[in-house]
Chains A and B, each alone.
Chain A
Amino acid sequence: MAFEEIKAGLEKYTADVEAKLVKNPERANLVPNRLYTPIDLGENFDYMTKLGFPGEYPYTRGVQPTMYRGRFWTMRMYAGFSTAEESNKRYRYLLANGGSGLSCAFDLPTQIGYDSTDPMAEGEVGKVGVAIDSLADMEILFDQISLDKVSTSMTINAPASVLLAMYIAVAEKQGVSADKLRGTIQNDILKEYAARGTYIFPPKPSMRLITNIFEYCSKNVPLWNTISISGYHIREAGSTASQEIAFTIADGIAYVEAAIKAGLDVDAFAGRLSFFWNAHNNVLEEVAKFRASRRVWSKVMKERFGAKKAKSMMLRVHTQTAGSMLTAQQPNNNIVRVALQTAAAVMGGTQSLHTNSKDEALALPTTESVTIALRTQQIVAYESGLADTVDPLGGSYYVEALTDKIEKEAWAYIEKIDEIGGAPEAIAKGYIQKEIQDSAYKWQMEIEKGDRIIVGVNKFTQEEEPPKNLLRVDGSVGKLQAEKIAALKARRDNAKVAETLAALEAGCADESVNLMPLILDAVRAYATEGEICGVMRKVFGEYQPHTTL
């Protein structure tokens, strides 16, 4: 029998190799097995259960039947800095150069619900993203960009409802109705508590805001992805590949449970849930991670939540290459890292991709370096052949074994988190944070001991000149935004603002109210983001983090 023959052959091969290991030693610290064969998949490897066909349960091979043979992934470059005027220029540049979707980076005050004039915003205005204080800024941000033609992703979490409302209001002004809008809000508060840090409110009102969005969008903005359940930041914080998908899927389970508890039908909202993965350095491990994550999520949705629609079971994913793997040393090397990470994301079957720029370990990227990053995707798409067949690594003994291994590890974590009482509880207890921190520390110690080589950092180092031409955000952005807010407050109907904010405050205090329409009213009246979030802070209070070492 073939399987027995392979087994015998493998035994002979292993014995032969090991007899010669003293003479022909292998490198130290190798994690995978020496060789993978059909033995690793097991004698009863069932193609239909494990893999199936693309676009079919369990979606291991991809969520669409033809994947990139139809059209490539969306090349979506995360961008935003300084003022709405500056960022609008960068968006139009990216679209003119073959970018196929927008991805907005907001500055930290915007992400945490502070106006640029708030004392907490000092030094941060316009730094890591664009400063948005009101609908007036949002109108400038999307000037000359038709919102019915472009899809827009917004990295916004705690105040996601406010920024989504602003987007809807800009569309109204362009004459585009909400049912035509395509895009994504990140809206994933659990990973903010666990790994990213831009939380505002405690878990309970935060989960309410999220389910309010699910409900509102299912009726009014049906093409919108209402959440991007994000492993990216968990991985950036130091987790392993398995932890990335496990903790994220555990978060996803919590959101689905919250929405069902709020009375929504699973198939009414689950099709608009999306995910966000990291494309890290280990190419084949990453490919396996993408494949395993689709298998796990489809099973969760089908078996745990009884979803009926195919769309509800598909893990659709945006990907970003790993920012934490960029090195400040020899920054040109990062172009190569990003190209390999891009290959991993594409062979893993991502739906959209942001590629980092070579200079991002030092500053925000320049136009030149962003262009190289975008071109990297285009080269992989048009020249590499990686996008020409569906799931090109399916059937690789190694990749299939690794997919199984990551899936198994992810389930073990999900079960552990279930035992703790779900992701919110596991975060409240600091369990998830601790697991991530331990992995991060292990990684750093491996580098310092030389067990893990990072080219240009702990091997092949060289003296170099400090890099030139880094992008600098003008320090005057804060002042400029303050002037804009003052002018806005002088020209808007302040009675109308007060009225909408009072209605919002009353709505916040009544859990049965969906807050989206009230937030939209306040946004339309040009209430500032800080005013809107201020009202919510007043009623909901603020999250007190659990800090562990």
Chain B
Amino acid sequence: MANIKVLVAKPGLDGHDRGAKVVARALRDAGFEVIYTGIRLTPEQIAEAALQDDVQVVALSLLSGAHNTLFPKVVELLKEKGLNDVLVIGGGVIPDADIPGLKAAGITEVFTPGTPTSKIVECINANVK
């Protein structure tokens, strides 16, 4: 499973990227090739980056509460670009009640605060196509 390429991305206006950066680094240390987009990207910019960089995984991080709007939008735009096999996962301050809806919208797994980074690695290894 070498050379899995992961795009760690922050949609929306939220600037809290401690988690995104820690996850990006942990994924890199776990042997993935990781691209971190930086903060304040539109869903369109994220989908375009996923296409350009030919990634297998998009990992979204959001702490502002806009996840119900922005996460599904990223999935939708990836599909529009024909990226149907890209694994999309997400994390942040996300109430449990929102998780089923996000999963139904195509977010394979949602990681909430306190998750060890090893769980994210496992999830990617188990689900990447």
A and B bind: yes
The reply to whether the CB of A179 lies closer than 8 angstroms to some CB of chain B is: no
The reply to whether the CB of B82 lies closer than 8 angstroms to some CB of chain A is: no
Which residues of the other chain, B, contact A124 by a CB distance below 8 angstroms? 12-14, 64-66
What 8 A-B pairs come out closest when comparing CB atoms? Answer: A197-B15, A123-B69, A123-B66, A547-B38, A108-B13, A466-B96, A127-B65, A328-B113
Take A112-B13, A124-B12, A362-B95 as given contacts and tell me if A197 and B113 are in contact as well, using a CB distance cutoff of 8 Å: no
The reply to whether the CB of A487 lies closer than 8 angstroms to some CB of chain B is: no
CB-CB contacts of B32-55 with A at 8 A, as 1s and 0s?
Answer: 001011111010000000000000
Within 8 A of A (CB), among B99-129: 112-114, 116-118
Contact across chains for A108 and B64 when beta carbons are under 8 A apart: yes
The reply to whether the CB of A237 lies closer than 8 angstroms to some CB of chain B is: yes
Contact across chains for B22 and A329 when beta carbons are under 8 A apart: no
Q: How far is the CA of A197 from the CA of B22 in the complex (A)?
A: 17
The reply to whether the CB of B97 lies closer than 8 angstroms to some CB of chain A is: yes
Which residues of the other chain, B, contact A6 by a CB distance below 8 angstroms? none
Contact across chains for B21 and A448 when beta carbons are under 8 A apart: no
Within 8 A of B (CB), among A457-491: 457-458, 466-467, 470, 472-473, 475
Which residues of the other chain, A, contact B65 by a CB distance below 8 angstroms? 124, 127-128, 363-364, 473
A428 to chain B, nearest CB (A): 15
Which residues of the other chain, A, contact B95 by a CB distance below 8 angstroms? 362-363, 466, 470, 472
The reply to whether the CB of A120 lies closer than 8 angstroms to some CB of chain B is: yes
Contact across chains for A437 and B21 when beta carbons are under 8 A apart: yes
Most buried by B among A236, A238, A324, A444: A444
A197 to chain B, nearest CB (A): 2
The reply to whether the CB of B24 lies closer than 8 angstroms to some CB of chain A is: yes
Contact across chains for A466 and B113 when beta carbons are under 8 A apart: no
Which residues of the other chain, A, contact B28 by a CB distance below 8 angstroms? 549
CB-CB contacts of A78-112 with B at 8 A, as 1s and 0s?
Answer: 00000000000000000000000000000011011
8 contacts between A and B (CB under 8 A): A108-B12, A108-B13, A197-B14, A328-B112, A437-B25, A440-B18, A441-B22, A473-B65
Take A197-B17, A198-B15, A466-B96 as given contacts and tell me if A328 and B114 are in contact as well, using a CB distance cutoff of 8 Å: yes
Given contacts A197-B17, A361-B114, A448-B118, 9 further A-B pairs with CB under 8 A are A112-B13, A112-B40, A127-B64, A127-B65, A128-B64, A196-B16, A197-B14, A237-B17, A547-B37
Contact across chains for B38 and A109 when beta carbons are under 8 A apart: no
The reply to whether the CB of A192 lies closer than 8 angstroms to some CB of chain B is: yes
Which residues of the other chain, B, contact A326 by a CB distance below 8 angstroms? 113
The reply to whether the CB of A327 lies closer than 8 angstroms to some CB of chain B is: yes
Q: How far is the CA of A111 from the CA of B18 in the complex (A)?
A: 19
The reply to whether the CB of A541 lies closer than 8 angstroms to some CB of chain B is: no
The reply to whether the CB of B68 lies closer than 8 angstroms to some CB of chain A is: yes
Q: How far is the CA of A440 from the CA of B38 in the complex (A)?
A: 16
Q: How far is the CA of A458 from the CA of B36 in the complex (A)?
A: 27
Q: How far is the CA of A172 from the CA of B56 in the complex (A)?
A: 57
Contact across chains for B114 and A440 when beta carbons are under 8 A apart: no
CB-CB contacts of A118-142 with B at 8 A, as 1s and 0s?
Answer: 0011111001100000000000000
The reply to whether the CB of B83 lies closer than 8 angstroms to some CB of chain A is: no
Q: How far is the CA of A362 from the CA of B39 in the complex (A)?
A: 21
A239 to chain B, nearest CB (A): 10
Q: How far is the CA of A468 from the CA of B65 in the complex (A)?
A: 17
The reply to whether the CB of A306 lies closer than 8 angstroms to some CB of chain B is: no
Q: How far is the CA of A472 from the CA of B69 in the complex (A)?
A: 14
Contact across chains for B26 and A444 when beta carbons are under 8 A apart: yes
Contact across chains for A549 and B21 when beta carbons are under 8 A apart: yes
The reply to whether the CB of B70 lies closer than 8 angstroms to some CB of chain A is: yes
From the candidates A236, A441, A467, name the one contacting B25 in the complex (CB within 8 A): A441
From the candidates B18, B26, B36, name the one contacting A238 in the complex (CB within 8 A): B18
The reply to whether the CB of A545 lies closer than 8 angstroms to some CB of chain B is: yes
Contact across chains for A192 and B15 when beta carbons are under 8 A apart: yes
Q: How far is the CA of A241 from the CA of B119 in the complex (A)?
A: 29
Which residues of the other chain, B, contact A363 by a CB distance below 8 angstroms? 65, 93, 95
Q: How far is the CA of A362 from the CA of B95 in the complex (A)?
A: 6
B74 to chain A, nearest CB (A): 11
CB-CB contacts of A229-241 with B at 8 A, as 1s and 0s?
Answer: 0000000111000
Q: How far is the CA of A236 from the CA of B21 in the complex (A)?
A: 13
B118 to chain A, nearest CB (A): 7
Which residues of the other chain, B, contact A120 by a CB distance below 8 angstroms? 13, 42
Which residues of the other chain, B, contact A324 by a CB distance below 8 angstroms? 18
From the candidates B16, B24, B70, B116, name the one contacting A123 in the complex (CB within 8 A): B70
Which residues of the other chain, A, contact B97 by a CB distance below 8 angstroms? 466, 470
Take A466-B97, A545-B38, A549-B34 as given contacts and tell me if A440 and B21 are in contact as well, using a CB distance cutoff of 8 Å: yes
Which residues of the other chain, B, contact A440 by a CB distance below 8 angstroms? 18, 21-22
Which residues of the other chain, A, contact B68 by a CB distance below 8 angstroms? 123, 475
Q: How far is the CA of A447 from the CA of B42 in the complex (A)?
A: 32
